[in-house]
Amino acid sequence: MCAAIAFNSVSAQDAKIEDKHQWDLAPVYASDEIWEQAKSELVKQLNDVEKYKGKLAGSSDILLACLKLNSEINKTFGRLYSYTSMKSDQDTRVSKYQAMKQEIAQIGTQFGSKAAFIEPEILEMSKDQIEKFIKEEPELAPFDFYLRDLIRSKDHMGTAGEEKIIAEAGLMSGAAQSIYGIFSNADFPYSTIKLSDGKEAFLDASGYSKYRAIPNRDDRKVVFESFFTELNKFNRTFGTQLAFNVKKDLFYANVRKYNSCLEASLDPNNIPTEVYHKLIENVNQNLGTFHRYLKLKAKMMGVDQLAYYDLYASVVKDLDLEFSYEQAESMVLSAVEPLGKDYKKVIKKAFDNRWIDVYPVKGKRSGAYSNGSVYDVHPYILLNYNGNYEDVSTLIHELGHTMHSYYSNSAQPFEKADYSIFVAEVASTFNEILLFHDYYQSLKKKDEKLSLLMSYLDGIKGTVFRQTQFAEFELRIHEMVERGEQLTGESLNHLYKEIVDRYYGHNEKVCEVPEYIQVEWAFIPHFYYNFYVYQYSTSYTASVALAKKVMSGDKEPLKKYIKFISAGGSDYPINILKNAGVDMTTSEPFELTMKEMNWAMDEIEKLLK
């Protein structure tokens, strides 16, 4: 979260890590031998599901028996896979766990094939028959939402023959994304440049991400110009790949009988298209707030006009701050104080009972995640803690996911515990906001406050404005194809530059957007993810809205928040958020985010005076 608050950590690579800072996976399986026994028992069950084939419409008893068996196998599979996956992540050099992971994944594929009849058979039933079964068999209650949602999608399902063709089309549907991945990651002829200090910089994707933030402005300009000039030499190739990916989306929207690609993408979670359109509308109506941030950044950098190649540079000197893991624990527990004793008690349990694998060691998987898929145990967190503020922020972020999973798993049956991507980042970002405000209140030094505030604003810029900029571009290219227009490297360049110019105030001289930025779209892999990026923005605005309500001290918003993280997938995500007090079909969440952004800028201006 905060690039400017840094710390030269003592690497834990060669140190002996105490047990208390490593996972205790015994609650999942006490040993590899017990894992093997459980796997063998699971394999014996796989064929049992086939005895229900062709019979699901016969009675509510038969449907219940089949769904319960399917659910139990999936729950056990999740537990088996999580164990070996986490074992492998602790040391990726151990081939034994890689092999175990591949083995259980293959078993999952086999079961998926055997159970493939279930949904088509349910879809052959009428809505009235499903409702009759639910009413006469109380034990179908854990499956009622799943069954009703499946029937809701019935209008978008084809005949058995059509479904077979659609399924077979999957062999080709990922071609554009796969080619893009290979070309951009393996075969693209990235350039090497010389920096002002005489060092060479290889500008592949990771090199660009590294060097775009270096302090020397002239070097940053060269980095941007060189990287995107090379990309633009292949805009026709990148354009062809993206065009066929969009046409793939159009194919599925048409055969599924949707009015648009956007509707087809949002319908599985029953999200109204107005949520997407409202986000873009809100951002465009609040570009003045964004431009205020850009001008403030220019002022703090001491330049007359900000340029696009300044966006990732730090505006204050690096601060040599360090946080031991024990300090991080204290900061987290202080930050979650507004969430009450019960919430804090579970967080403490996570620290004390080895739910978290803390330090980086040789062979350990990089990054961080929370795994909440061991339903009958508790979630686990992987960290690579090095001691800077960003690591503290990552810790509380992953604990947000963990608490979401913990509360949902505790409150919901297995069948309703898993929550959708649309709300997945809300609880984690919510926690980051709590940490920011709590830590900010503890700071005394001006430089520390400026650093934290600017980092916070950079996060809002990257999550709300930049991701919505991507979302608008993605919508526009799909609409072009839906109208029968052709996508080419040239037309994509023109559209992208027009959107970026507007967002960054190029024509108003707020931020200079050089011509070569027109091809930045070719660098963004998310454009192959079928309307995914908007969820970063909606999750953030929902988080801010919830956090502001809870931090007010009012007990009612807190009760609603705990219900939200306890809801799992028991309803559609829009309804779950609405019950928590955040209506994503309105402008309120976005307006609260803009209020928060303006507050942070007010604080900076006070400090600068």
Which pLDDT tens digit goes with each residue over 433-450? Answer: 999 999 999 999 999 999
Tell me the pLDDT band of 6, cut-offs 50, 70 and 90. very low
Residues 139 and 198 in one domain: no
Which secondary-structure segment (H or E) carries 144?
helix 144-152
> Under a CB-based contact definition with an 8 Å cutoff, are residues 538 and 279 in contact?
yes
- CATH assignment at residue 149: 1.20.140.70
Residues with Cβ within 8 Å of 98's Cβ and at least 6 positions away in sequence, in order, are 88, 92
Question: Mean per-residue pLDDT for 331-336?
Answer: 97
Q: Which among 567, 581, 595, 573 has a CA at the least distance from the CA of 282?
A: 595
Residues 132 and 215 in one domain: no
Tell me the pLDDT band of 163, cut-offs 50, 70 and 90. confident
Question: Mean per-residue pLDDT for 280-288?
Answer: 97
Residues 215 and 115 in one domain: no
C-alpha 535/C-alpha 538 separation (Å) is 5
Q: What is the pLDDT of residue 319?
A: 65
> Under a CB-based contact definition with an 8 Å cutoff, are residues 267 and 153 in contact?
yes
Residues 77 and 195 in one domain: no
In this predicted model, which residue has the larger pLDDT, 74 or 3?
Answer: 74
C-alpha 68/C-alpha 118 separation (Å) is 12
Boundary-marking domain end, from 114, 135, 157: 157
Dihedral sign computed on CA atoms, order 391, 461, 214, 526: positive
| Least-confidence region, from 116-120, 154-158, 389-393 | 154-158
Residues 196 and 108 in one domain: no
Whether pLDDT at 170 is above 90: no
Q: What is the pLDDT of residue 603?
A: 97
In a domain, 89, yes or no: yes
- CATH assignment at residue 199: 1.10.287.830
Residues 34 and 131 in one domain: yes
Tell me the pLDDT band of 7, cut-offs 50, 70 and 90. very low
For the annotated catalytic residues, the residue numbers are 398
Residues 117 and 54 in one domain: yes
Q: Which among 160, 178, 218 has a CA at the least distance from the CA of 194?
A: 218
Q: What is the pLDDT of residue 9?
A: 36
Residues 143 and 208 in one domain: no
Split into its structural domains, the chain has a count of: 2
Whether pLDDT at 5 is above 50: no
In a domain, 55, yes or no: yes
In a domain, 79, yes or no: yes
Q: What is the pLDDT of residue 2?
A: 37
Residues 150 and 207 in one domain: no
Q: What is the pLDDT of residue 157?
A: 81
Residues 34 and 150 in one domain: yes
Boundary-marking domain end, from 233, 259, 288: 233
Residues 148 and 199 in one domain: no
C-alpha 371/C-alpha 12 separation (Å) is 23
Enter the pTM of the model: 0.89
In a domain, 10, yes or no: no
Question: Mean per-residue pLDDT for 363-388?
Answer: 93
Q: What letter would DSSP give residue 202? A: E
Q: What letter would DSSP give residue 52? A: G
Range of the domain at 215: 189-233
Boundary-marking domain end, from 109, 141, 157: 157
> Under a CB-based contact definition with an 8 Å cutoff, are residues 512 and 506 in contact?
yes
Radius of gyration for the chain, computed over Cα atoms and rounded to the nearest angstrom: 26
Residues 71 and 133 in one domain: yes
Dihedral sign computed on CA atoms, order 492, 494, 497, 501: negative
Whether pLDDT at 159 is above 80: no
In a domain, 297, yes or no: no
